[in-house]
Structure 1
Amino acid sequence: MLHNKKRLTFTLSAVALAAMSASPAHSAVVASIKPLGFIAAAIADGITPVEVLLPDGASEHDYALRPSDVKRIKNADLVVWTGPEMEAFLTKSAAELPASKNLEIAGLPEVKPLLIRGGEEEDEHEHDHDHHAGSEKSEEQDTSHTHHHHGEFNMHLWMSPEIAKQSAVAIHGKLLELMPQSKAKLDANLQQFEAELADADKHIGAQLAPVRNKGYFVFHDAYSYFEKHYGLSPLGHFTVNPEIQPGAQRLHQIRTQLVEQKAVCVFAEPQFRPAVIDAVSRGTSVRKGTLDPLGMGISLTKDSYVKFLSQLSSQYASCLNGA
């Protein structure tokens, strides 16, 4: 009899475990890209897990969702993303979510006044002409990219400390609606995030002040918010879409400015190490650096967004200072 009881208990436990593994984990915040995951992790710390869709090394410009990603989005308590102009891969899945579970940063009323105009369409068309005018394929690629990813504004919003703060407030608000029982912890997390961000902002301002007037080129147009916030002096970027190589005319312009010593540094990115940067800087005294716009190698913790900004600042400072 006892043996049967044990067997029954074991069978019930097995059934319960099977049921648990069959139903996907529910209470999670899903962020489209790592930097938004960093902000979410600060607010959700100790309350609910945070996951990121975009794996390290992938580009937000051309990612395609896997079936497992679609499942994670459907089962998430909250999905945090920039908006359809940046993560086109999320537009369809996000549209199917209830408003309470869908947080589009670019659509926040507090963020809209902070958006920087991209001027990216003209730039993209300029690249069209640079890109063998007769090549239908490259023009088609450029046009579709303009259409999908680059509209009126620059969408690399996570580069702005001010927009990061507004994003944290919005994530706090959404999680408070979903988990009112966690109000005290959510409030404390937001307060801590804002204090650490203000502190890091001061340190970064001091670190970058000596290099404010030094000219440089970045690989793609991802850094405007950071550069404007800290008063840096970019001379331009190689390309708007990292997937499309800049045309000959653009490279000639950059090369001329490098030769005339208008730039002290050119920056590549971890996901894109294009030969064009080596080619264009060959024979000049310009230094080469790397900027990481997505925080590869930084793990999700409550202070990871501050780490991300500080890492970016150090990457700028070391190349521009010649350290």
Structure 2
Amino acid sequence: MQHLIIGILFLVIGTSFSFANAKVISSVKPIGFITEAITAGVVDTDILLPDGASPHTYFLKPSDLAKLKSAELVIWVGEDMETFMPTVLKNVDKQKQIELMAVPEINALLQISNEKHEDLQDNHSDSHHGEYDEHIWLSPAIAKIIAKIIHDRLIILYPDKKTLIDQNLNEFTLKLVETEQNIAKKLISVQNKGYFVFHDAYGYFESQFGLKNLGSFTINPAVQPGVQKIYAIQQELIERKAVCVFREPQFSPAMIEKLVSGTNVRIGELNPLGTGVIPAKDAYSQFLLTLTQQLLDCLDNN
């Protein structure tokens, strides 16, 4: 019995130690899913932002700084997404980081940020976005490029693990192609059903799968919208024949209920950051399938 307890203690200590000293750190969870697929069996990984945190407003803790400092590789999106990263990473060797928005192959596939959508508030209301849509993890095409970039860097860092890293990339790509075909079939039935969102994050996914996003409403989740704002949104939902409005976890259900009151519009919830999905080899596909199901749960409700 004593041996068993000591063994478990070593296991627990070993696990926590490996995460404290993870060699590859991803900034946000969906990037971490791609990283996990390519690093499986090669090296320990960790994700900087915890579930529920927004990359736009996150404050780094001392433990985060320690993780970043000891990492062999840090993968992040770009300064308009993770506003806190440039300051922290200026002291980290450029060879030890990948800023995905700066990669030419990714840059070529970027979409303009869709702030031109029906925005019933001030134009500057979503000012943390730059010119381009930085939610690049919602593009399967860009995800494949990200996977290849991580693969190439890992081979330099761990040349003795090349065979496994190659195999991981191959498995990821095949699985993703299968997932894309699966999602395309699932979403055909809802391509003509219009909806509004509260966070304009889904452009890449919507373009690929032919979805009908009618626009986005910008509301501060912490502030109750006024009567005029509520009325304007209700009119917009009715006039544009919206089937659904998708909230995100930070919005109170009561606020959204008020906005759709007096309309036939259903309420759905979308999560662009993969909250609740456990990082694992197939987590990226799981993340896209979860998002697909969230869309279907609301749109395909005949």
Q: TM (normalized to structure 1)?
A: 0.82
- State the partner residue of 1:84: 79
For 1:24 and 1:228, locate their aligned partners in 2 and report how far apart those are by CA, in whole Å: 36
Aligned-partner residue type, residue 66 of structure 2:
K
Instruction: Assess if the C-alpha contact under 8 Å between 1:216 and 1:234 holds in 2.
Output: yes
- State the partner residue of 2:190: 211
Structure 1 unaligned runs (5+)?
Answer: 1-20, 130-138
Instruction: Name the count of aligned residue pairs.
Output: 288
- State the partner residue of 2:134: 155
Give the alignment partner of residue 28 of structure 1, picking from 10, 14, 23: 23
1:85 Cα deviation after fit:
0.6
- State the partner residue of 1:302: 281
- CA distance 1:260–1:320, change in 2 (3 Å): same
Instruction: Assess if the C-alpha contact under 8 Å between 1:77 and 1:101 holds in 2.
Output: yes
1:254 Cα deviation after fit:
2.9
Instruction: Assess if the C-alpha contact under 8 Å between 2:111 and 2:133 holds in 1.
Output: yes
Structure 2 unaligned runs (5+)?
Answer: 1-15
1:128 aligns with 2:107: no
1:233 aligns with 2:233: no
Aligned-partner residue type, residue 184 of structure 2:
G
- CA distance 1:301–1:241, change in 2 (3 Å): farther
Identity score, percent: 46
Render the CA deviation track for 1:7-39: whole Å, top value 9, x for unaligned. xxxxxxxxxxxxxx9999545211111000000
1:271 Cα deviation after fit:
3.1
For 1:49 and 1:322, locate their aligned partners in 2 and report how far apart those are by CA, in whole Å: 42
Aligned-partner residue type, residue 267 of structure 1:
F
- State the partner residue of 1:66: 61
- State the partner residue of 1:17: none
- CA distance 1:257–1:28, change in 2 (3 Å): same
Three-state SS of the structure 2 residue aligned to 1:322 is coil
1:55 aligns with 2:55: no
Three-state SS of the structure 2 residue aligned to 1:266 is strand
Three-state SS of the structure 2 residue aligned to 1:177 is helix
- CA distance 1:245–1:224, change in 2 (3 Å): farther
- CA distance 1:275–1:197, change in 2 (3 Å): same
1:180 aligns with 2:159: yes
Three-state SS of the structure 2 residue aligned to 1:110 is helix
Instruction: Assess if the C-alpha contact under 8 Å between 1:33 and 1:294 holds in 2.
Output: yes
Instruction: Assess if the C-alpha contact under 8 Å between 1:38 and 1:305 holds in 2.
Output: yes
1:265 aligns with 2:223: no
1:94 Cα deviation after fit:
2.0
Render the CA deviation track for 1:156-203: whole Å, top value 9, x for unaligned. 111111111111111111111111111000000000000000000000
Q: Which moves more between the two structures, 159-168 or 259-268?
A: 259-268
Instruction: Assess if the C-alpha contact under 8 Å between 2:119 and 2:216 holds in 1.
Output: no
For 1:119 and 1:27, locate their aligned partners in 2 and report how far apart those are by CA, in whole Å: 36
Render the CA deviation track for 1:77-97: whole Å, top value 9, x for unaligned. 111111101000112112222
For 1:30 and 1:179, locate their aligned partners in 2 and report how far apart those are by CA, in whole Å: 16
1:257 Cα deviation after fit:
3.0
- State the partner residue of 2:11: none
- CA distance 1:24–1:261, change in 2 (3 Å): closer
Three-state SS of the structure 2 residue aligned to 1:80 is strand
Instruction: Assess if the C-alpha contact under 8 Å between 1:24 and 1:75 holds in 2.
Output: no
1:116 aligns with 2:99: no
Indicate the RMSD between aligned Cα atoms, in angstroms.
2.7
Structure number with the higher helix fraction is: 1
Instruction: Indicate the structure (1 or 2) with the bigger Cα radius of gyration.
Output: 1
